[in-house]
Amino acid sequence: MRILGIETSCDETSAAVVENGILVRSCVIASSQRDFGDTGGVIPEYAARKQLECVLPVVDTALKQAGVTNADLDAIAVTHAPGLLGSLLVGTSTARTLCALWNLPLIPVHHTLGHLSSTWLDCSNEPVFPVLTLSVSGGHTDLWYRTAHCTGALAATTVDDAAGEAFDKGAVLLGLGYPGGPQLSALAKKGKRDAFTFPLPMATQAGFSFSGLKTSLKYALRDIGSPPDAQTAADLAASYQEAICSHLSHQLGLALEKLHSCAEVHIVGGVSANTRLREQAQEICGQYGVSMRTPTTLRYCTDNAAMIAAAGEFLVESDRRWLGCAFQTQATQSLASQLKME
Ligand code: KG4
Ligand code: ZN
Q: How far is CA 86 from the centre of its chain?
A: 19
Q: Would you state the pLDDT for residue 342?
A: 84
Confidence at 40, pLDDT banded by 50, 70, 90: low
Neighbours of ion ligand 2 (CB under 5 A): 137, 303
Q: Is the pLDDT of residue 33 over 80?
A: no
Instruction: Tell me what the mean pLDDT of segment 39-48 comes to.
Output: 79
| Rounded Cα gap, residues 27 and 299, in angstroms | 9
Pocket of ligand 1 (CB under 6 A): 10, 137-139, 164, 167-168, 179-182, 185, 269-271, 273-274, 302-303
Q: Give just the sign of the alpha carbon dihedral 225, 227, 228, 233.
A: positive
Q: Beta partners for 265?
A: 132, 292
Q: Determine the Cα–Cα distance for residues 259 and 57; give it in Å rounded to an integer.
A: 45
pLDDT digits (tens, 9 = 90+) for 302-328: 999 999 999 999 999 999 999 999 999
Q: What pLDDT is attached to residue 132?
A: 98
Per-residue pLDDT tens digits for 202-258: 999 999 999 999 999 999 999 998 889 999 999 999 999 999 999 999 999 999 999
Say if pTM beats, i.e. exceeds, 0.85.
Answer: yes
Mutate to test the pocket of ligand 1, among 31, 185, 271 (most ligand atoms within 8 A of CB): 271
SS3 at position 174: coil
Residue 338 and residue 342: Cα distance in Å, rounded? 13
CA distance 118 to 335: 16
- Asked whether the beta carbons of 307 and 300 are under 8 A apart, the reply is yes
Predicted local confidence at residue 11, as pLDDT: 85
Q: Which of 167, 210, 335 to mutate to test the pocket of ligand 1 (most atoms within 8 A of CB)?
A: 167
- Measured in whole angstroms, the distance separating CA 210 from the mean position of its chain's CA atoms is 17
Do residues 90 and 52 make contact, with C-beta atoms less than 8 angstroms apart? yes
Contact status, residue 44 vs residue 26, Cβ threshold 8 Å: no
Query: What is the distance between the alpha carbons of residues 267 and 296, in angstroms, rounded to a whole number?
Result: 11
Give the sheet arrangement for strand 141-148, strand by strand.
291-293, 264-268, 131-136, 141-148, 151-157, 340-341
Cα of 155 to ligand 2 centre, how many Å? 19
Phi, then psi, of 161 in degrees rounded to 5: -75, 170
How does pLDDT run across 68-114, given as a tens digit for each residue? 999 999 999 999 999 999 999 999 999 999 999 999 999 999 999 99
Determine the atom of ligand 1 nearest the C-alpha atom of 273: 26
Averaged confidence pLDDT in the chain: 95
- pLDDT for 162 beyond 70: yes
Mean predicted confidence (pLDDT) in 115-139: 97
Return the pLDDT at 31: 82
Q: Which ligand 1 atom minimizes the distance to the CA of 180?
A: 14
Residue 99 CA to ligand 1 center (angstroms) comes to 31
User: How would you list the strands of the sheet with 12-19, edge to edge?
Assistant: 23-31, 12-19, 2-7, 75-81, 106-110
Q: Which ligand is nearest to the CA of 183?
A: 1
3-class secondary-structure state, position 61: helix
Rounded to the nearest angstrom, the distance between the alpha carbon of 154 and the centre of ligand 2 is 17
- pLDDT confidence bin for 37, thresholds 50/70/90: low
Atom of ligand 1 nearest to the CA of 111: 6
**Closest ligand (CA of 163):** 1
Ligand nearest to the CA of 301: 1
Confidence of residue 177 (pLDDT cuts 50, 70, 90): confident
- CB neighbourhood size of 323 (10 A): 17
- Ligand 2 centre to CA of 151 (Å) is 20
> What confidence score (pLDDT) does residue 36 get?
64
Listed residue (275, 297, 291, 274) closest to 121, CA to CA = 297
Question: Average pLDDT in the 177-195 region?
Answer: 94
Element (H, E) at 171: helix 163-173
Atom of ligand 1 lying closest to residue 164 CA: 12
Q: Are 209 and 158 in contact (CB under 8 A)?
A: yes
